[in-house]
């Protein structure tokens, strides 16, 4: 009898102790998956490793061919993270961590130049800034010991555990192959068909459906290194480490309707925000934190710390702040810097090292190959934005677009030319050169060459459940709504029930809300490869629990019209500025409005082109006549209606009340006069204003 398509042990020699992810239904029985040379592939889920938790092996021709072909699919645009925005700045070490690492950039007081690129993942370079998507957060450190690239995202986990699945993930989430749409969105058949067949993606889906993928700005989102790395000190002692970037301004996000309207109002909203903040001197800043732990802690966990689909709760291992990142200079040329910058996770410095994370292992050689394809030459490191700022010497020569002019005939080593008066070139550095550490996982992890995953990689739902229970009620409602919206775009009838069946392993209430929102019956719970367990909620996983009550770094749209009270306007503008906010005047005409004192106030933006979604709060400063004039303007009504619907504070003069009434604004804590109460309200959002949470899905 042919093996069942859903039998996780089929084709695995009956070794039921080995965890193999569930395979979904495919084509005809004889439609065998092969390499480009026609060799049948026995396992398309796991890369070949030395032991269950050992490093990936270069002899894995299936992995190499698959990723090699994937890396060269697009020329010259990046296959993923194509739409990016970037800035120059510096990293400053603020704590002495010489007990953990010998890396020079972590010497207390040391300032290291950096170049940071933020990006969306799924869309092309010509897409938009504000879709629901993961955001890339890549940092290039130009250290005194060479370049270190910390290539991460604004989410600490990932969809997959093994790099061999990366091409499948991206193929599924990108534009559908037959019709080339949708662009920059995951709400379509192929992504959810794939995701519903990959239980290991469930935790990442919870993050992706949360407000984490709708950041208010790059300045107010976190960054994560995703993988577990190592820090190595001068004595050769190694510790596991997770890297965290925490924004100085705190976490902020938009809501779905607001994100849609931001996209309509300004396709470059995040790019513009970053550029203008730096140009105005409001330099974006993050704190670099580390979670450091040892092998004993790793072994004691129910999950595997090398599994990129898992988080290490901050309550278990607190984040220790060790430095700060400041972005203080915009690029001089977008193409030369933002487009041509080439990040590679394999670029590390002494004191930082890899682990055998199977997702990281695949990335180590994928990026280098991709940059050659995209930039056209193996000499891409010579481009100014990629070149190290410390001395660089080796015997690599020639190649397309070679810009250096090496002198002498020494292009090999060892050589004895120096003994005869010639330049013999550089030599290796046994004392100060980079040495791969002995992994704290222990040499006993290596073993037979296997295509398997360690048993602790089999729990796909506990961390997804942890994420869910750590959210506020509003955030949970947003997640449920996101799943409903995404899968409402799926035309494959079998996919939504399959996805909801997976969600029952996360939370029965979530699954029921999504099923109700889709109008389908609650399907049987999907069988879990390993039964999930309850974990203690982690406040660090919630945006709402980490938002700062502050106006610093936020903008307030101040709507005026002819006749607006000059004294009232001056008072509210001064109060906003005094609280660290940025007041922006909006008027029906770009020339501004004539105030009650007879003077004209120039506008920063015209009402028709400055909708309230581009601001964090709004103030309506109108006279009775000015209010009457705006009552018939749809843009004015919409300005107020959207601000209220997007849960923002609204401060209004008494004469503006008819406009608020027409916009359907109801009295609540976030609707105030223009006194100090408004400034306090403008520092937060009012999630209690949302409809019945159980009805959002």
Q: Distances in Å between the alpha carbon of 146 and those of 141, 235, 434?
A: 8, 21, 11
Distance (Å, whole) CA 261 – CA 643: 11
So which residues are the catalytic ones? 81, 153
- Helices (DSSP H) in 22-76: which residue ranges? 61-71
Distance (Å, whole) CA 605 – CA 559: 10
Instruction: Name residues whose C-beta falls within 8 Å of residue 601's C-beta, 6 or more positions apart in sequence.
Output: 560, 564, 566, 569, 585, 587, 592, 593, 594, 595
Strand partners, 286: 247, 325
Residue 526's nearest CA partner among 502, 561, 544, 543 is 502
Task: Please report, to the nearest 10 degrees, the dihedral formed by the alpha carbons of residues 257, 569, 272, 648 taken in order.
Answer: -20
Q: Read out DSSP for 511-537?
A: HHHHHHHHT-PPPPPPPPSS-------
Distance (Å, whole) CA 356 – CA 347: 16
Task: Please report, to the nearest 10 degrees, the dihedral formed by the alpha carbons of residues 667, 668, 674, 678 taken in order.
Answer: -170
Distance between the two ends of the chain, CA-based, in angstroms? 43
- Two tokens, residue 624: 């009775």
Distance (Å, whole) CA 579 – CA 385: 37
H-helix or E-strand spanning residue 203 = helix 202-208
Query: Would you say 528 and 505 are in contact if contact means Cβ atoms under 8 Å apart?
Result: yes
Strand partners, 398: none
Residue ranges with strand state E in 36-134: 49-50, 84-93, 111-120
Residue 469: HSE in the Cβ half-sphere, 13 Å Cα cutoff: 17
Judged by phi (left if over 0) then psi (alpha if -120 to 50, else beta), residue 336 lies in: alpha
Instruction: Output Rg (C-alpha) for the chain, integer angstroms.
Output: 27
Any idea what the Cα angle at residue 610 is, between residues 606 and 612, rounded to 5°?
Answer: 135
Sign of the torsion formed by the C-alpha atoms of 440, 445, 450 and 455: negative
Q: Read out DSSP for 556-568?
A: EEEE--TT--HHH
Q: Read out DSSP for 399-419?
A: -TT------SS--SSS--GGG
Q: Is 299 helix (H, G, I), strand (E, B) or coil?
A: helix
- Two tokens, residue 565: 């009270």
Q: State the residue for tokens 């040379």.
A: 37
Residue 317: HSE in the Cβ half-sphere, 13 Å Cα cutoff: 20
Residue 501's nearest CA partner among 488, 485, 489, 483 is 483
């Amino acid at each position: 009898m042919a093996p069942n398509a859903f039998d996780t042990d089929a084709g695995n020699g009956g070794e039921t102790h080995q965890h193999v992810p569930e395979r979904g239904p495919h084509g005809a029985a004889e439609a065998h998956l092969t390499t480009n040379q026609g060799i049948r592939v026995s396992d398309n889920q796991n890369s070949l490793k030395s032991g269950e938790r050992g490093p990936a092996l270069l002899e894995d021709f299936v992995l190499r061919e698959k990723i090699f072909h994937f890396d060269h699919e697009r020329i010259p645009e990046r296959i993923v993270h194509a739409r990016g925005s970037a800035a120059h700045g510096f990293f400053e070490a603020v704590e002495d961590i010489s007990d953990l690492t010998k890396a020079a950039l972590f010497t207390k007081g040391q300032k290291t130049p950096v170049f940071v690129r933020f990006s969306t993942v799924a869309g092309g370079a010509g897409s938009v800034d504000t879709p629901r998507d993961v955001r890339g957060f890549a940092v290039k450190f130009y250290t005194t010991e060479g370049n270190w690239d910390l290539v991460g995202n604004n989410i600490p986990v990932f969809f997959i555990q093994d790099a061999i699945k990366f091409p499948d993930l991206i193929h599924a989430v990108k534009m559908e192959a037959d019709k080339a749409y949708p662009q920059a969105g995951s709400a379509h058949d192929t992504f959810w068909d794939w995701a519903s067949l990959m239980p290991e993606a469930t935790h990442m889906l919870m993050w992706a459906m949360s407000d984490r993928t709708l950041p208010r700005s790059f300045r107010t989102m976190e960054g994560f290194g995703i993988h577990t790395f190592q820090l190595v000190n001068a004595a050769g002692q190694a510790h596991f480490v997770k890297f965290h970037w925490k924004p100085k301004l705190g976490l902020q996000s938009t809501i779905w309707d607001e994100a849609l309207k931001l996209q309509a109002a300004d396709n470059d909203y995040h790019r513009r925000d970053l550029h203008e903040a730096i140009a105005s001197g409001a330099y974006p800043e993050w704190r670099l934190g580390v979670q450091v732990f040892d092998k004993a802690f790793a072994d004691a966990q129910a999950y595997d710390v090398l599994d990129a689909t898992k988080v290490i709760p901050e309550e278990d291992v607190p984040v220790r702040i060790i430095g700060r990142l400041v972005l203080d200079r915009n690029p001089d040329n977008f193409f030369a810097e933002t487009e041509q910058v080439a990040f590679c996770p394999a670029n590390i410095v002494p004191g930082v090292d890899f682990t055998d994370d199977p997702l990281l292992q695949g990335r180590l050689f994928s990026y280098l190959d991709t940059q050659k394809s995209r930039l056209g030459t193996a000499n891409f490191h010579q481009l100014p934005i990629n070149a190290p700022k410390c001395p660089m010497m080796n015997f690599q020569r020639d190649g397309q677009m070679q810009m250096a002019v090496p002198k002498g005939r020494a292009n090999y080593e060892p050589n004895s030319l120096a003994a005869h008066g010639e330049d013999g070139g550089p030599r290796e550095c046994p004392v100060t050169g980079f040495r791969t550490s002995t992994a704290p996982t222990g040499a006993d992890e290596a073993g037979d060459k296997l295509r398997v995953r360690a048993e602790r990689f089999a729990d796909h739902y506990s961390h997804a459940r942890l994420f869910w229970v750590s959210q506020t009620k509003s955030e949970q409602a947003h997640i449920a709504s996101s799943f409903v919206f995404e899968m409402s775009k799926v035309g494959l009838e079998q996919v939504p029930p399959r996805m909801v069946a997976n969600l029952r392993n996360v939370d029965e209430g979530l699954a029921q809300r999504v099923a109700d929102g889709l109008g389908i019956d609650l399907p049987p719970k999907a069988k879990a490869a390993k039964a999930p367990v309850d974990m203690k909620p982690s406040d660090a996983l919630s945006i709402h629990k980490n938002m700062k009550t502050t106006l610093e770094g936020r903008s307030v749209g101040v709507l005026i019209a002819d006749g607006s009270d000059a004294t009232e306007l001056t008072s509210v503008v001064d109060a906003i500025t005094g609280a660290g906010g940025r007041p922006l005047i909006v008027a029906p005409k770009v020339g501004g409005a004539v105030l009650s004192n007879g003077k004209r106030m120039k506008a920063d933006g015209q009402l028709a082109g400055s909708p309230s979604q581009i601001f964090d709060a709004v103030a309506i400063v109108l006279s009775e006549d000015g209010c009457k004039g705006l009552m018939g303007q749809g843009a004015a009504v919409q300005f107020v209606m959207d601000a209220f619907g997007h849960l923002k504070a609204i401060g209004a003069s008494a004469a503006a009340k008819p406009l608020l009434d027409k916009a359907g604004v109801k009295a609540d804590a976030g609707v105030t006069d223009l006194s100090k109460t408004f400034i306090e309200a403008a520092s937060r959002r009012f999630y209690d204003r949302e409809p019945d949470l159980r009805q959002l899905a």
